[in-house]
Amino acid sequence: MWNFYYMVILVLLMTAATCCFSRKEAMSPSPRILIVGGVAGGASAAARARRLSEESSIVLFERGPYVSFANCGLPYHIGGVIGERNRLLLQTPESLHARFRIDVRVHTEVVSIDPVSQTVVARNLKTGQETREPYDALVLSPGAEAIRPAIPGIQDDRIFTLRNMGDMDAILGAVSRDGVGRALVVGAGYIGLELAEQFHHRGLAVALVERLPHVMGVADPEMTFPIHEELSRHGVDLRLGRSVTAFEKAGGELVALLDNGDRIACDLAILCVGVRPETSLAKAAGLALGATGGILVDDRMRTSEPNIYAVGDAVEIRDFTSGDAALIPLAGPANRQGRIAAEVILGRDSRYKATQGTAICKVFDLSFAMTGLSETVLQRKGMAYRRVYVYPPDHATYYPGAHPITLKLLFDPKDGRILGAQAVGVAGVDKRIDVIAVAQRAGLTVFDLEDLELCYAPPFGSAKDPVNMAGFVAANVAREDVLLWEPEELASMTEARLLLDVRTPAEHAQGSIPGAVCLPVDDLRARLGDLPRDPELLVFCQVGLRGYIAARLLSQLGFRVRNLSGGYRRYAMWHGTHTVPLACEAPMQREES
């Protein structure tokens, strides 16, 4: 009997201990939330937390003077496109306090974190005074820092980076000085390309140096050739496949030395060679870092320490397409991550569902956009894929002002799952990549793209939208209705084959693949006897459609035939000679009808 009573008492004690532990671990219904860093992730977390909890104490620390600004708009204020500086200030400490009662402390840096006592030490950068601040939940949004390579002369005060309002002001001050007329941009990613355009708008002579053989390193090389042409058309001195090895002073000039011995004199230089996650605070606090060097978080934005969260450019995320760890510093994901961290802190089951890397960049009159993985990355990861190219107009060609879109679609050969897409053109690029990004996020396939019902009126689109066209072509390949050949195959082909140009003689005369025989698609049936039966026929046209029609005809008549996806325009882009006009040609208009 006594043993029974002892067992009951023991169970009651264990239950009480468990309850006490649970109460200790549970978040307060009105927690004190500290947020380190503003802009996209931190400011979003603060505002969302207040909308969910009026009782919580929310403190936001920002070591700079600005808590929420549009960093993506910085190049455009430098170029004068955004005229008023204040338009870049999305929120101020005063506006955040007035609307959300958030305690914003600018010019204040959090210098250490103690996860055990759940406190941080914050230092006022103006007075040097330090305070110890307790927290129930801590959100880290430190962002990323611009990379300054350790090369001779890099500390010259005429060499800048662009990450915040202070950087922008310094660059504006430099370009506004008398006698400043030459700008060097090092790195041709998103920011580098935007700055090259904006310096040109200000009337500066612009040189752009990129270590890769093409601009926009996240893109596939052939998709960037129109951008190269656009930059050259506007007088940008484009130096591809080159690196700056040093800066030196020559008289009053700043001179960049390139790895091939060239020298570029300039009045100022902007380094746009990439960013790295700012993790020093997290690392000192013992937070785990991921394989990429970013702060390791789960899908609820929780770090390795209880009650500490991290968001934005500093965190390692999961790539949506591959599932691998990645660093993808974009404003949209940072905003969503801040929102999710606040919701999790306040008891909601919110989860971050990976990053696709959907992005766009304006380069003079062109736009480049992409979503998902590039072919280059798919190859590096060893992932199976197929690719197709289409060049449809942005709207019906019988309505004035149509421009072609170069659209590349990558998909899984097993099931048609969308792996990525890239597009470049004058108009309609953002719309098509956005549609494909949504389709990819929703788990749709290239077969689903065929069936998408999208807006159509002559000024806005076509009855068969470019997204539909990409779906048609990809689905034809997936169903093996047509076999494709690639330009890079030509150099290694050993067996007999015949290059067959099915465009008109006039088009053929303007430029064709060396060794190709011209036989227009409309004449094929009447001239079948002119075609040999033994060698494989490699057909091509201007953009792929007439080649597809020819391939379907010939394959049904017993010929071995493959079509060049994207046609001669694709070959010209791959070969590095864009001899094909960028306007919508008459043959494309006829094909659309």
The mean per-residue pLDDT over the stretch 451-456 comes to: 96
pLDDT digits (tens, 9 = 90+) for 73-116: 999 999 999 999 999 988 889 999 999 999 999 999 999 999 99
Annotated active-site residue 72? The verdict is yes
pLDDT confidence band for 201 (50 / 70 / 90): very high
Determine the Cα angle at 22 with ends 18 and 23, to 5°: 120
End-to-end CA distance of the chain: 94
Handedness of CA 201, 202, 203, 208 (dihedral sign): negative
280 or 490: which leads in pLDDT: 280
Q: Is the pTM of this model over 0.85?
A: yes
How confident is the model at residue 494, as a pLDDT? 73
Buried b (16+ CB within 10 A) or exposed e, 335-371: bbbbbbbbbbbbeeebebebbbbbbebbbbebbbbbb
Query: Per-residue pLDDT for 325 more than 70?
Result: yes
How confident is the model at residue 555, as a pLDDT? 94
HSE-CB for 526 with a 13 A CA cutoff:
5
Residue 578 burial by CB count (10 A; 0-12/13-18/19+): exposed, middle or buried? middle
The mean per-residue pLDDT over the stretch 119-133 comes to: 97
- For residue 170, give the H/E element and its range: helix 165-175
Query: Per-residue pLDDT for 6 more than 60?
Result: no
Instruction: Please compute Rg for the chain using Cα positions.
Output: 29
- Cα 146 from chain centre: 17
Q: Which of 19, 20, 72, 518 is catalytic?
A: 72
Give the residue ranges of DSSP H helices in 262-402: 280-284, 331-345, 375-381
Question: Which are the contacts of 137, defined by CB distance < 8 A and separation ≥ 6?
Answer: 27, 31, 32, 33, 34, 307, 308, 309, 345
For every residue of 465-488, DSSP letters joined together read -HHHHHHHHHHHHHTTSS-EE-GG
Q: Are strands 268-271 and 159-160 parallel, antiparallel or unpaired?
A: parallel
